[in-house]
């Protein structure tokens, strides 16, 4: 009843005290049951004598007393059944008692963690994440800046950034002019034999640039 009342209060400190007391009580009960089972196993002959004597007292004085050396009352069989029952009882008690004690112990720690987090929320000093927020996804990260080779009105970070922007612009202009060049379509009167193409070199285009006040690259026509 005291344990149920403690769980009804739902206080972390009270539940922890109840959990410690429950563990002590569980170990005492299990040890006492085990010791009694061992004593019962070593006192087999004493149990048989007691069983025979108890059976004889139930008989009336007019009834002749039979010989008890032949185990008339099946005392040995009764002892075996009692010992098997004690083994099964000890096994069930160990599993059930330890299971419930472990559940109360785990609940006491979770309740203490929740109270500590609520106290941190009130004082504005929260350490870690609340238990019921651990499974939620984190905040969405901002999108990365696209790597586009275009001229933007951004101030270069230094001389290296300015040179890399100039080189990228020159490469893009050369690529566009190269794509605009269309090879002539061969006429029908030409010979069907194909000659190997002559090596071509990309033409060089004179490009003039100047750098503005804000670091922008301006093409001069």
Q: What is the domain partition of the chain in residue ranges?
A: 2-58+71-125, 148-169+205-221
Measured CA to CA, the distance from residue 3 to residue 19 in angstroms comes to 9
Tens digit of each residue's pLDDT (9 = 90 or more) over 59-94: 655 566 666 566 677 888 889 999 999 999 999 999
Residue 191 clears pLDDT 90, i.e. is over it: no
Looking at every residue in the chain, the average pLDDT score rounds to: 72
Average pLDDT value for residue range 3-25: 81
Of 111, 137, 120, 150, the C-alpha closest to 17 is 111
- Range of 2-11, 39-48, 137-146 with top mean pLDDT: 39-48
Q: Give the model's pLDDT for residue 28.
A: 95
Q: Is the sign of the CA dihedral 20, 21, 25, 26 positive or negative?
A: negative
Q: Which positions ≥6 away from 210 have C-beta within 8 Å?
A: 217, 218, 220
Q: Give the model's pLDDT for residue 45.
A: 87
Indicate the pTM of the whole model: 0.47
pLDDT bucket at 189, cuts 50 / 70 / 90: very low
Q: Give the model's pLDDT for residue 158.
A: 53
Tens digit of each residue's pLDDT (9 = 90 or more) over 151-162: 555 555 555 556
Average pLDDT value for residue range 107-126: 74
Q: Give the model's pLDDT for residue 102.
A: 92
Measured CA to CA, the distance from residue 112 to residue 14 in angstroms comes to 10
Q: Give the model's pLDDT for residue 99.
A: 94
Average pLDDT value for residue range 115-125: 69
Count CB-CB contacts under 10 A for residue 157. Answer: 9
Categorise residue 215: left if φ over 0, alpha if ψ from -120 to 50, beta otherwise.
Answer: left
């Amino acid at each position: 009843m005291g344990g149920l009342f403690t769980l009804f209060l739902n206080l972390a400190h009270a539940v922890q005290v109840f959990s410690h007391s429950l563990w002590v009580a569980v170990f005492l009960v299990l040890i006492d049951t085990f010791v009694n089972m061992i004593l019962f196993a070593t006192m087999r002959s004493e149990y048989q004598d007691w069983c025979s004597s108890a059976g004889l007292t139930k008989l009336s004085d007019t009834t002749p007393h039979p010989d008890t050396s032949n185990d008339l009352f099946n005392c040995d069989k009764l002892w075996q059944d009692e010992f098997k029952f004690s083994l099964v009882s000890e096994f069930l008690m160990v599993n059930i008692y330890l299971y419930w004690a472990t559940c109360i112990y785990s609940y006491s720690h979770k309740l203490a963690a929740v109270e500590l987090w609520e106290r941190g929320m009130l004082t504005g000093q929260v350490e870690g994440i609340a238990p019921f927020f651990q499974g939620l996804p984190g905040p969405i990260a901002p999108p990365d800046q696209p790597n586009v080779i275009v001229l933007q009105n951004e101030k270069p970070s230094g001389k290296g950034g300015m040179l890399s922007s100039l080189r990228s612009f020159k490469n893009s202009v050369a690529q566009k002019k190269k794509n605009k060049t269309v090879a002539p379509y061969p006429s029908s009167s030409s010979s069907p034999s194909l000659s190997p193409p002559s090596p071509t070199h990309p033409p060089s285009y004179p490009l003039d640039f100047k750098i503005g006040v804000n670091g922008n690259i301006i093409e001069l026509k």
